[in-house]
Amino acid sequence: QVQLVESGGGLVQAGGSLRLSCAASGGLISIRAMGWYRQAPGKQRELVAVITGAVRTNYADSVKGRFTISRENGKDTVYLQMNSLKPEDTAVYYCNVRTIARDYWGQGTQVTVSS
């Protein structure tokens, strides 16, 4: 069965950096897009960044210039490089993989930014 394994979350001070990773496993799937979402307490889940194909990307306005999304070999793994982190970036971050058949979600990884 397809599973998404996330890593890289944790506690960091404001201005620091983290890199999140998400690896899809469990069989060959046809990936159309990969992305990261986040949800803070009391807030709606929001799109952070998405990548389609190999190079086309979109970012939330709040993270432009600070976060970078990328794909490993264009299929298996997606990364989110997070620089200049702010306390308002604190949230549970979820990996999303869209295939021609359905969407898959990771379990979420906690990112906490202290001031």
Nearest to 108 by CA among 52, 45, 30, 57: 45
What confidence score (pLDDT) does residue 2 get? 82
Q: What is the mean pLDDT of the chain?
A: 92
What confidence score (pLDDT) does residue 54 get? 67
pLDDT of residue 31 exceeding 70, the answer is yes
Mean pLDDT of 56-73: 94
pLDDT of residue 1 exceeding 90, the answer is no
Using one digit for the tens of pLDDT, what is the confidence trace for 42-51? Answer: 999 999 999 9
In a 10 Å sphere around its CB, with 0-12 CB exposed, 13-18 middle and 19+ buried, how is residue 64 labelled? exposed
